[in-house]
Amino acid sequence: MALGHWEEALAVWIRVKNPRLPGVRKEENEERKRFYQNVSITQGEGGFEINLDNRKLKTPQAKLFTVPSEALAIAVATEWDSQRDTIKFYTMHLTTLCNTSLDNPTQRNKDQLIRAAVKFLDTDTICYRVEEPQTLVELQKNEWDPIIDWTEKRYGVEIGSSTSIMGPSIPARTREVLVSHLASYNMWALQGIEFVVAQLKSMVLALGLMDLQLTVEQAVLLSRLEEEYQIQKWGNVEWAHDYELQELRARTAAGTLFVHLCSESSTLKHKLLQD
């Protein structure tokens, strides 16, 4: 008997809720097995859809999973296809971002998303400086100042940096300019931007990624500058440092790619170039 999508989910849920079922260890209980053979993409009315065997993928809130960009659909399909015995949802960052955009579980509108992102400026990592040790002060100056300078020139605003415990004081005009810049992005792209800002703990670094100024590896390194400094000094702990580094890179890369693929200008240009 072929089990449907929901019957299968129910079967897993029953096992998870019933620890007395023998032979099932805690880890196996918490992960779903891969239940599909083929992953494919079709184009529907609302955009591109993902099919797991012949069932259409749905979001956690049971909406039909559609994405506006073919490249994004292929990348999501690749995420699903690369799962082996169990489905590791925590590695499927693009799928998660799409689900968030489709379901909007926090129910935020465009304004709220923009404000959430710009709020990070007040405690922006690369504006918030230490006073000692001197080598770290130098490192922060040499690595972070150029990025701030570039951003200030690009947007015609003042950002600056500060060693005060209150953080940098961002002029109201700077905030206005950045808010209106972000307003030019669509809702999906904004979900991605807010995600990247929250991961890197820096609005300025996120802007650098959106403006093709920094690679993901560079942005992550700059975000983790103090950690890298301490690692150089005291040593690297693979199961903690590398683990976090790779996770941050994965999330930042996913968010950045998501924004670029969802920004209408790039999709449009791509289409024009293909004709």
Partner 1 sequence: MAALGSPARTLRGLLRELRYMNAATGRPYRDTAAYRYLMKAFRAHRVTSEKLCRAQHELHFQAATYLCLLRSVRQHVALHQEFHGKGERSVEESAGLVGLTLPQQPGGKGWEP
Which H or E run includes 177? helix 172-182
Give the shortest CB-129-to-partner 1 separation in angstroms: 24
Which C-beta is closer to partner 1: that of 170 or that of 220?
A: 220
Q: What share of the chain is helix, strand, coil (3-state, %, to 5)?
A: 60, 10, 30
Give the shortest CB-19-to-partner 1 separation in angstroms: 12
Which C-beta is closer to partner 1: that of 158 or that of 247?
A: 247
Which C-beta is closer to partner 1: that of 112 or that of 246?
A: 246
CB-CB neighbours of 121 under 10 Å: 19
Measured distance CA(66)–CA(45) in Å, rounded: 9
AA letter at 86:
T
Which C-beta is closer to partner 1: that of 70 or that of 158?
A: 70
Residue with tokens 């802007």: 207
Give the shortest CB-121-to-partner 1 separation in angstroms: 22
Give the shortest CB-87-to-partner 1 separation in angstroms: 12
Which C-beta is closer to partner 1: that of 51 or that of 123?
A: 51
Give the shortest CB-254-to-partner 1 separation in angstroms: 6
Give which of 34, 38, 49 is closest to 83, Cα–Cα: 34
CB-CB neighbours of 190 under 10 Å: 24
Q: Is the dihedral of CA 190, 196, 198, 201 positive or negative?
A: negative
> Which residues of this protein are in contact with partner 1, per CB under 8 A?
20, 22, 25-28, 40-41, 70-71, 74-75, 77-78, 81-82, 84, 88, 91, 93-94, 212-218, 238-239, 242-243, 246-247, 249-250, 253-254, 256-257, 260-261, 266, 269-270, 273-274
Contacts of 181 (CB under 8 A, 6+ apart): 155
Give the shortest CB-248-to-partner 1 separation in angstroms: 8
Which C-beta is closer to partner 1: that of 92 or that of 102?
A: 92
Give which of 93, 4, 100 is closest to 59, Cα–Cα: 100
- Report yes or no: 187 and 101 within 8 Å, Cβ to Cβ: yes
